[in-house]
């Protein structure tokens, strides 16, 4: 026979003290935060008006306990503090007359630059040693492969380079033809051994012509209809900008990629020795 169900009772009985098991995670977090020196915590700054600021230890306990429960949002941490008994124990230093910190206040320890993460890690390591929870006499490494949460565009692919480099070369040759046809450069600049050297040589000639036009424009008189030298200068600057900011840097990147590929089909921009490997 089941117990009697009645949700309209007029009285509610509950134990005077709500507690958690002695081996609960929240006790380890509380011990760790309370053992931290004050120099590693931000100073409490209270406003002359309104309630006192929350102690950083209290907020840090709530933050660490929420992370251990896979709750990382401010709204979720605030809701957990309202409903979870272990989380209530983590911030037990808050008087009952004060409300639970708002979701914008919970992140205060993480946003303060005074907290030194490295020192906190070392302090936590010392705490685990003192509790004899870890043993550094042996290190065990399993075969787990974890895909790093990195930028998915950080890899350079051989097929992409082989596909787009010929297009760049055709674009450069078309630019050379236009510059030769209008008399901007002569064919002497195109006798370099490779396209990158040709691009640099053409850019040097364009910069010299632009500097010469600068002196000419500075001394010439105002003419009806505008200055032809200014129009010519703008056109040359457009060519030079294309060379310096697009063609030359991309060609250098392609040559660097060919040197790093070797026999591989890809490499990482952040770690050139790494090769892409997709795990199922």
Tell me if residue 155 falls in helix, strand or coil: strand
Contacts of 104 (CB under 8 A, 6+ apart): 74
Structure tokens at 3: 């117990």
**What pTM was computed for the model?**
0.46
The CA distances from residue 258 to 81, 165, 261, 263, 268, in Å, are 56, 11, 5, 10, 13
Q: How confident is the model over 199-251, as pLDDT tens digits?
A: 999 999 999 999 998 888 888 887 777 788 888 889 999 999 999 999 999 99
Res. 116 pLDDT band, cuts 50 70 90: low
Rounded Cα gap, residues 125 and 133, in angstroms? 10
Q: Tell me, what's the pLDDT at 258?
A: 92
Contact indicator for 182, 208 with CB cutoff of 8 Å: no
Contacts of 60 (CB under 8 A, 6+ apart): 33, 41, 109
Q: How confident is the model over 17-35, as pLDDT tens digits?
A: 556 777 777 888 888 888 7
**Average pLDDT for the chain:** 77
Structure tokens at 201: 């040589």
The CA distances from residue 95 to 32, 52, 84, in Å, are 21, 12, 17
Q: Tell me, what's the pLDDT at 158?
A: 92
Tell me if residue 268 falls in helix, strand or coil: strand
Rounded Cα gap, residues 132 and 134, in angstroms? 6
């Amino acid at each position: 026979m089941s117990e009697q169900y009645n949700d309209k009772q007029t009285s509610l009985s509950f134990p005077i003290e709500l507690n958690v098991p002695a081996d609960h995670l929240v006790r380890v977090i509380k011990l760790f935060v309370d053992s931290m020196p004050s120099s590693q915590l931000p100073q409490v700054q209270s406003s002359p008006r309104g309630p006192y600021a929350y102690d950083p230890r209290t907020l840090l306990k709530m933050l660490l306990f929420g992370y251990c429960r896979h709750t990382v949002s401010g709204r979720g941490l605030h809701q957990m503090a309202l409903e979870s008994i272990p989380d209530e124990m983590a911030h037990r230093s808050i008087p009952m007359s004060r409300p639970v910190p708002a979701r914008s206040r919970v992140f205060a320890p993480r946003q303060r630059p005074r907290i030194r993460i490295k020192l906190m890690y070392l302090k936590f390591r010392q705490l685990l040693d003192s509790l004899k929870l870890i043993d550094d006499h042996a290190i065990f490494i399993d075969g787990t492969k974890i895909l790093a949460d990195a930028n998915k565009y950080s890899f350079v692919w051989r097929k992409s380079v082989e596909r787009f480099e010929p297009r760049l070369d055709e674009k450069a040759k078309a630019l050379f033809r236009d510059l030769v046809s209008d008399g901007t450069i002569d064919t002497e600049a195109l006798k370099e051994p490779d396209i990158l050297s040709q691009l640099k040589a053409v850019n040097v000639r364009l910069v010299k012509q632009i500097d010469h036009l600068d002196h000419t424009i500075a001394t010439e008189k105002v003419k009806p209809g505008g200055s032809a030298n200014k129009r010519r200068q703008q056109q040359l600057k457009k060519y030079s900008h294309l060379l310096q900011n697009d063609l030359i840097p991309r060609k250098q990147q392609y040559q660097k990629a060919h040197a790093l590929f070797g026999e591989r089909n890809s490499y990482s921009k952040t770690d050139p020795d790494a090769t892409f490997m997709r795990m199922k």
